[in-house]
Amino acid sequence: MASLYIHVPFCVRKCGYCDFYSGVAGDADIERYIAALDREFALRAPTGLAPETIFIGGGTPTRLSAPQLGALGAILKRYVDLRACTEFTCEINPGTLTPQKADALVAMGVNRASFGVQSFEPKYLQGLDRAHEAGVAPRALEIARAAGISRLNMDLMFAMPGQTLAEFESDIRQALNLGTQHISMYALTFEDDTPLTRQLKQGTIAEAPPELEEAMFQLAGRVAGEAGLARYEVSNFARPGAECAHNLVYWTCGDWHGFGAGAHGMTGGVVTRNVADFAAYERCLSEGNVPHVPDAPMAPAERAETLLLMGLRLTRGVELQRFRQFTGVDFHVACGEPAGRLIELGLLELTPAHVRATPRGMLVLDSVILELAMALGYSV
């Protein structure tokens, strides 16, 4: 059954590196947003929607008050059959979680929490303009656990300006010591039009040297691996069985529905992209219109490209059978030439059922994907 993603585009404050559609809003805006979400579900939720996984992301979902979270829960109860749902994740900014909010989440059905910790070092949190302070992360985890949410993820960030390898290792160990089963570790990306990128351009901060970033990428795999959390995706590490089932839907190009301003969905090879601007989103729905223009269904070559660019991020790779199902041709036929070269270079490997990036290939995955994509001949 298709999964479900719900977007909450509000933040306590905007982080310096973030280019997601989100904004700082007051309570009145939030209430109007919840009402609009309600309308979107009423308008376009498939009948009998019974997702196996749900993910509430943002923004900062926990920017909502406990009663507002309750209202969101009520919408879900009306339109969604939660009986088949085995994993229900909510993103949490550690500084915004209260016991009341945690209870509201549990009442909604949430059984997995993803904490945007980023770092335990105060100076880096400040550098990223994060809203929370360093000490609050352990306390937030406690609150979640006390409310009954046992499946936890922590997001860490590396290659921040000035960060040393030792500081990053200390961040990983602190996260592991807090007993998490899942860690996401992202290299800081300088997105266009963010305060951080402007600082970079002005020269007030400097990017981490490429060799250091690479060393950190390797360090993440080693330290997490030693603690029993294996890399299963470029930036994601988990104990066996604790992988994020919802995100695996994205990486295997499964079906999911996206609700909320700026939310994307993909079902049967058709992408939906809701309008990101909150006011436009609200206006669409108040006029009784779906808040997106549906994309044209993807051609087989485009689906194949999408499958490769998502699936090769997983260490287990892309199922060859799924590639055939999406495109009607064998991977060997479609991409044999570049794949052969990449295999020879030790960047790609074939198993009986999968094609996957080697650890070295994972490090340069974007170039590997580009080589394969050229062979597919798909272009907009």
Residues 6+ apart with CB under 8 A from 263: 5, 6, 7, 274
Q: Name the residue nearer to other proteins (CB basis): 306 or 327.
A: 306
The binder of other proteins chosen from 59, 127, 258, 317 (CB under 8 A): 258
Residues in region 5-44 near other proteins by CB under 8 A: 5, 7
CB 319 within 8 A of CB 343: no
Do β-strands 236-238 and 264-267 pair in parallel, antiparallel, or remain unpaired? Answer: unpaired
The binder of other proteins chosen from 13, 70, 178, 186 (CB under 8 A): 186
The binder of other proteins chosen from 188, 284, 285, 335 (CB under 8 A): 188
**Shortest approach of other proteins to residue 291 CB, angstroms?**
15
CB 87 within 8 A of CB 245: yes
Length of the chain (residues): 380
The binder of other proteins chosen from 271, 290, 329, 343 (CB under 8 A): 271
- Is 262 one of the binding residues for other proteins (CB under 8 A)? yes
Q: Which stretch binds other proteins (CB under 8 A): 106-114, 122-130, 138-146, 341-349?
A: 341-349
The binder of other proteins chosen from 111, 235, 267, 358 (CB under 8 A): 235
| 46 φ, ψ (degrees, to nearest 5) | -65, 145
Reduced to 3 states, what is the DSSP secondary structure of residue 114? strand
Residues in region 53-82 near other proteins by CB under 8 A: none
Residues 6+ apart with CB under 8 A from 97: 62, 140, 143, 144
- Is 266 one of the binding residues for other proteins (CB under 8 A)? yes
- Is 166 one of the binding residues for other proteins (CB under 8 A)? no
Q: Residues in contact with other proteins, total (CB under 8 A)?
A: 49
The binder of other proteins chosen from 175, 285, 309, 334 (CB under 8 A): 309
- Is 206 one of the binding residues for other proteins (CB under 8 A)? no
Q: Can you point out the beta strands (E) in the chain?
A: 3-8, 10-11, 23-24, 53-58, 87-92, 112-118, 151-158, 182-187, 230-233, 236-238, 256-259, 264-267, 270-273, 318-319, 348-350, 354-357
- Is 249 one of the binding residues for other proteins (CB under 8 A)? yes
The binder of other proteins chosen from 40, 87, 121, 305 (CB under 8 A): 305
- What span, in angstroms and rounded, lies between the C-alpha atoms of 197 and 11? 20
Q: Give the alpha-carbon dihedral of 369, 372, 373, 375, to 10 degrees.
A: 170
Residues engaged in binding other proteins (CB under 8 A):
5, 7, 186-189, 210-211, 213-214, 217, 234-235, 247, 249-250, 256, 258, 262-266, 271, 273, 302, 305-306, 309-310, 313, 341-342, 345, 347, 362-371, 373-374, 379-380
